[in-house]
Amino acid sequence: MKKPTYAQLARMDKSYLWHPFTQMESWEKEEILIIERGRGNYLIDVKGRRYLDGVSSLWTNVHGHGKRYIDAAIKGQLGRIAHSTFLGLSHPGAIVLSKMLLDIVPPGLERVFYSDNGATAVEIAIKMALQYWHNIGEPQRYLFVSLDNAYHGDTIGSVSVGGIGLFHSTYKPLLFETVKAPSPYCYRCGLGLEYPSCGLACARKVGDILASNEGKVAGLVIEPMIQAAGGFILSPPGYLKAIEEITKRHGVLLIADEVATGFGRTGRMFACEHEHVSPDIMTAAKGISGGYLPVAATFTTGRVYDAFLGGYGEKKTFYHGHTYTANPLGVAACIANLELFRKERVIRRLRPKIRLLKEGLGRIAALEHVGEVRQIGMMTGIELVRDRATKEPYPFEQRTGARVCFETRKHGIFIRPLDDVVVLMPPLSITERQLSYLLKSVEGAIRAVTEQR
């Protein structure tokens, strides 16, 4: 087949496809980017234009695109087998990877259950938590507590523990019952308080919820340190630790969703490390394969795992699995990814980059229409507001955040916002020079869009 031109591809895309989280009416009118290749921290489109991958291909890419070491690992696995089932069979890669993962996750996590995306990892966590109580004879513990502004994926179970009205409210009739706790969103505190004089009142609310549902709550699901898709909302110091203590006190399982934060994004391997938190169940996906292939994992403690053991007749088995669970190609990418973390001392080498990011963000924070800049490690959210003094947001339909991101394309950058929060989450392999360029271009784009008279 002759290679199609950009115009042909764009026409076919707009005629046949439906893209995720995309208003297709405007997509059909826009000039779309069609990515053909990737090199290092750049995406290259079919016209040969390069774009700095400022959001790591949706928060997944770690060491850059076309990383030889990972490419070779996948090719090596391809020479052996592309896929064999994990239901009733095992394979060397998955076994080796499980040990490598358990060596780096927070203490107490002793088992890995594989799946293939973040939402699924969360579904598994929820079902495991519920069945844990069932299996130990406390079936009355069925409730889940989650947070306003939470995002845990788009399947019905993960939407049930989500808290973003725009994404989730339509599906309400389909969702299971949950109890929502306030989001630790200090910039727009729902309790009308200020940190630190609030004394972490939002965490205390969680305690109240657990107390008033004593004996009924199976688990609390949380994105540790930062609510990512909810707008890069950073929890105040001490919040996560307080939540851990509260869940322990009430005997509720703590489920930490590290899908976005895992694998170095926050400057530590896992966000839980910032406050020395050890969840009972933890989810990971995205960066687990270096951003190469869809692999996810749900980790549990030995205590949770043990509750599923028993004679066949006891029916304590975890009746859950996906066709591509622990896909060997994906697993090969994960192993290579973790080896690179060690070989290239990725976490240690992030420090100067995080400092540089902080400095550049200081300038952005001073702009007239920047309400707040929130950064943890290599994750940054820049909240744009119409009025800094009153924190008044821009009208939703103006798409201010999206316009800023479009503007950066002129500078050869691809970023994607969350509403009016401009997100920067480049691959951990971004160089200091590329980072400076990214910051300068984003600053220019924010000014161009928000300061035009």
Residue ranges in contact with ligand PMP by CB under 6 A: 117-119, 122, 151-153, 223, 228-229, 257, 259-260, 285
Residue 43 or 285 having the CB closest to ligand PMP: 285
Rounded CA-CA distance 101/297 in Å is 9
Question: Which residues does residue 372 pair with via DSSP β-bridges, in sequence order?
Answer: 383
Please report how close the Cβ of residue 224 comes to ligand PMP at its closest, in angstroms: 9
To ligand PMP, the closest distance from the beta carbon of 92 in angstroms equals: 25
> HSE (CB half, 13 Å, CA atoms) of 306?
6
* Shortest CB 296 distance to ligand PMP, Å: 7
* Residue placing its CB nearer to ligand PMP in the complex, 122 or 253: 122
Q: Which is nearer to ligand PMP, 147 or 361 (CB)?
A: 147
Min CB(298)–ligand PMP separation in Å: 11
Taking the least distance from each CB to ligand PMP, the nearer of 120 and 131 is: 120
H-assigned helices in 250-345: 302-306, 328-343
- Which lies closer to ligand PMP via its Cβ, residue 185 or residue 394? 185
Q: CB nearer to ligand PMP: give 152 or 168.
A: 152
If the CB atoms of residues 115 and 450 are measured against ligand PMP, the closer one turns out to be 115
Q: How far apart are CA 149 and CA 39, in angstroms?
A: 35
Tokens found for residue 167? 């994404």
* Cα–Cα distance measured from residue 241 to residue 245, given in angstroms and rounded to the nearest whole number: 6
The distance of closest approach from Cβ of residue 144 to ligand PMP in the complex, given in angstroms and rounded to an integer, is 15
Residue 410 sits at the vertex; the CA angle it makes with 64 and 51, to the nearest 5 degrees, is 15
- Token code pair at residue 211: 């107390």
Minimum CB distance to ligand PMP smaller for 222 or for 370: 222
Least gap, CB of 203 to ligand PMP (angstroms): 19
Question: Is 255 in contact with 280 (CB distance < 8 Å)?
Answer: yes
Residue 445's φ and ψ, nearest 5 degrees, are -70, -40
Q: Which is nearer to ligand PMP, 231 or 328 (CB)?
A: 231
Residue 41, phi then psi, degrees to nearest 5: -90, 15
Kindly state the smallest distance separating residue 246's Cβ from ligand PMP, in Å. Answer: 21
Q: In whole angstroms, how close is the CB of 59 to ligand PMP at the nearest point?
A: 6
With respect to ligand PMP, which residue has the nearer C-beta, 228 or 253? Answer: 228
- Cis bond before residue 196 (omega within 30° of 0): yes
| Closest residue to ligand PMP, based on beta-carbon distance | 118
Render the burial of 357-371: b for 16+ CB within 10 Å, e for the rest.
beebbeebeebebbb
Residues 6 or more apart in contact with residue 43 via CB below 8 angstroms: 33, 35, 37, 50, 51, 53, 57, 65, 414
Smaller CB separation from ligand PMP, 167 or 187: 167
Let me know how long the chain is.
453
Between 74 and 147, CB nearer to ligand PMP: 147
Residue 249's H or E segment, with its range, is: helix 239-249
Contacts within 8 Å (CB) and 24+ apart, 179-182: 179/143, 179/144, 179/145, 179/146, 179/209, 179/213, 179/217, 180/145, 180/146, 180/147, 180/148, 181/145, 181/146, 181/147, 181/148, 181/205, 181/206, 181/209, 181/220, 182/147, 182/148
The Cα 284–Cα 299 span in angstroms is: 8
Least Å from the CB of residue 227 to ligand PMP: 8
Smallest gap from Cβ 33 to ligand PMP, in A, equals 20
Asked whether 423 and 260 are in contact (CB, 8 A), the reply is no
- Rounded to a whole number of angstroms, the minimum distance from the CB of residue 160 to ligand PMP is 13
Smallest gap from Cβ 239 to ligand PMP, in A, equals: 16
As a whole number of Å, the CA-based R_g of the chain is 22
Shortest CA distance to 118 belongs to which of 298, 338, 253? Answer: 298
